[in-house]
């Protein structure tokens, strides 16, 4: 089975999550999609204090909560990308939010302005009409995508995603 991956990066509030949601909703109609979100500041809230799953996850144990509609995995241990991918087991395309150090084709997302330090770890940028690209030194090898054209972004992913 061939599996592919692509990553998304950009400043907080740029629209990374929204874009990944749009791409995933489109892709899921024809492929199995997996998503990894990096939470470098540990700001994610995964359960409510006082509930059993919260209490279990506070022990430091690996915790899985299964219900009729979903399975949620809680871990207090850092996992390497290969370990996380193995947990998914079966997928066609993996969408990664963040994790700038991973050697994956990467789309940087920007609104209002481009933070140029993201360009060194990106193969494409997705921008909207709030950005005038003539005001920036964008390297020639970086593709410029319309943030609001999900289909073109998927075409870029199909062409550039890395087999993993």
Q: What is the mean pLDDT of the chain?
A: 87
Query: Could you tell me how far CA 36 lies from the centroid of its own chain?
Result: 6
In a domain, 120, yes or no: yes
Q: Domain residues for 159?
A: 4-41+79-163
H or E element, residue 88: helix 81-88
Q: Judge whether 49 lies within some domain.
A: no
Cα 104 to chain centroid, rounded: 11
CA distance linking residue 99 with residue 110, whole number of Å: 17
Of 84 and 70, more confident? 84
Stretch 130-143: mean pLDDT: 96
Yes or no: say if 88 and 77 are a contact pair by the CB < 8 Å rule. Answer: no
Whether 57 shows a pLDDT value over 80: the answer reads no
Are 95 and 33 contacting, i.e. CB atoms less than 8 angstroms apart? yes
Any domain includes 17? yes
Domain contains 157: yes
Number of domains in the chain: 1
Mean pLDDT across 30-57:
75
pTM for this entry:
0.85
Does the pLDDT of residue 20 top 80, yes or no? yes
Residue 21 located in a structural domain:
yes
The separation between the first and the last C-alpha atoms of the chain, rounded to the nearest angstrom, is 10
The CATH number assigned to the domain holding 29 equals 3.40.50.300
* Residue 101 domain-assigned (yes or no): yes
- Whether 65 is covered by a domain: the verdict is no
User: Which pLDDT band holds residue 124 (cuts at 50, 70, 90)?
Assistant: very high
Residue 117 resides in a domain? yes
């Amino acid at each position: 089975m061939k599996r592919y991956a692509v990553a998304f990066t950009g400043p907080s509030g740029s629209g990374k999550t929204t874009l990944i949601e749009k791409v995933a909703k489109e892709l899921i109609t024809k492929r199995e999609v997996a998503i990894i979100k990096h939470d470098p500041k540990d700001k994610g809230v995964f359960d409510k204090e006082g509930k059993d799953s919260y209490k279990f996850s506070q022990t430091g144990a690996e915790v899985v909560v299964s219900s009729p509609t979903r399975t949620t995995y809680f871990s207090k241990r850092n996992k390497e990308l290969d370990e996380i991918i193995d947990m998914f087991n079966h997928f066609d395309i993996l969408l990664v939010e963040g994790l700038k150090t991973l050697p994956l084709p990467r789309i940087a997302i920007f609104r209002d302005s481009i933070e140029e330090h993201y360009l060194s770890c990106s193969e494409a940028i997705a921008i909207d009409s709030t950005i005038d690209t003539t005001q920036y030194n964008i390297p020639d090898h970086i593709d410029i995508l319309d943030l609001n054209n999900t289909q073109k972004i998927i075409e870029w992913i199909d062409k550039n995603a890395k087999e993993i």
